[in-house]
Amino acid sequence: MASMFSSSEISKSATTLFSAYASFAGSMMLVRSMANELIPHQLRSYLFSTFRYFFTPLSPNLTLSFDERYGMSKNQVYEAAEIYLSTKISPKTERLKVSKTRKQKHFTITLEKGETVVDLFEDVKLTWRFVCTEGQTQKPHSHSEERRLFELSFNKKHKDKVIDFYLPYVLVKAEEIKNQDKMIKLYSKQCPFIDFEDDGRKNGGSWGSIILEHPATFDTLAMDPDLKKMIIDDLERFLKRKEYYKKVGRAWKRGYLLFGPPGTGKSSLVAAMANYLNSEVLERPIEKKYYKQEEPQPAKSGFTRQLTLSGILNCIDGLWSSCGDERIIVFTTNYKERLDPALLRPGRMDMHIHMSYCTTHGFRLLASNYLGIDSTKYNPFFGEIDGLLKSTEASPAEVAEELMKNEDANAALKGLVNFLKRKRDEGNEIKNRATDDSEVSSSFKRLNA
Pairing of strands 124-135, 145-155: antiparallel
pLDDT of residue 197: 30
What whole-number distance in Å separates Cα of residue 412 and Cα of residue 395? 17
Query: Is the pLDDT reported for residue 385 higher than 70?
Result: yes
Query: Is the pLDDT reported for residue 174 higher than 50?
Result: yes
The number of distinct structural domains making up the chain is: 3
pLDDT band at 302 (very low <50, low <70, confident <90, very high): very low
pLDDT of residue 108: 76
Same domain, 179 and 191: no
Query: Is the pLDDT reported for residue 298 higher than 50?
Result: no
Q: Is residue 39 part of a domain?
A: no
Higher-pLDDT residue of 426, 34: 426
User: Per-residue pLDDT averaged across 251-279, rounded?
Assistant: 86
Q: Is residue 244 part of a domain?
A: yes
Same domain, 158 and 249: no
Q: Which of 111-125, 138-152, 383-397 has the lowest mean pLDDT?
A: 138-152
Q: Check: CB of residue 195 under 8 Å from CB of residue 202.
A: yes
pLDDT digits (tens, 9 = 90+) for 192-206: 333 323 333 334 444
pLDDT band at 121 (very low <50, low <70, confident <90, very high): very high
pLDDT of residue 55: 57
Domain boundary among 183, 207, 228: 183
What whole-number distance in Å separates Cα of residue 56 and Cα of residue 45? 16
Domain boundary among 354, 370, 401: 354
Q: Identify the domain containing residue 168 by its residue range.
A: 61-183
Higher-pLDDT residue of 274, 143: 274
Q: Is residue 141 part of a domain?
A: yes
State the DSSP string of 233-263: HHHHHHHT-HHHHHHHT--SEEEEEEE-STT
Q: Over the chain, what is the mean pLDDT?
A: 77
Q: Is residue 114 part of a domain?
A: yes
Domain boundary among 328, 354, 380: 354
Higher-pLDDT residue of 374, 39: 374
pLDDT digits (tens, 9 = 90+) for 31-66: 666 666 666 766 666 666 666 655 556 778 899 999
Q: Which of 95-99, 370-374, 403-407 has the lowest mean pLDDT?
A: 95-99
Same domain, 142 and 66: yes
pLDDT digits (tens, 9 = 90+) for 325-364: 567 888 888 888 888 787 788 877 889 999 999 999 999 9
pLDDT band at 188 (very low <50, low <70, confident <90, very high): low
pLDDT digits (tens, 9 = 90+) for 209-220: 555 667 788 998
What is the separation of C-alpha 78 from the centre of its chain, rounded to a whole number of angstroms?
Answer: 15
Same domain, 110 and 240: no
What whole-number distance in Å separates Cα of residue 131 and Cα of residue 112? 9
Same domain, 305 and 325: yes
Query: Is the pLDDT reported for residue 287 higher than 80?
Result: no
Same domain, 229 and 338: yes
Q: Is residue 5 part of a domain?
A: no
User: Per-residue pLDDT averaged across 88-110, rounded?
Assistant: 78
pLDDT of residue 428: 84
Farthest-apart Cα atoms in the chain, separation: 148
User: Per-residue pLDDT averaged across 276-290, rounded?
Assistant: 64
User: Per-residue pLDDT averaged across 296-310, rounded?
Assistant: 47
Comparing CA positions, the residue from 241, 234, 323 lying closest to residue 276 is 234
- The proportion of the chain whose per-residue pLDDT surpasses 90, expressed as a percent, equals 30
Pairing of strands 304-305, 297-298: antiparallel
User: Per-residue pLDDT averaged across 74-92, rounded?
Assistant: 87
What whole-number distance in Å separates Cα of residue 221 and Cα of residue 361? 11
CATH code assigned at 274: 3.40.50
Query: Is the pLDDT reported for residue 295 higher than 70?
Result: no
Same domain, 367 and 308: no
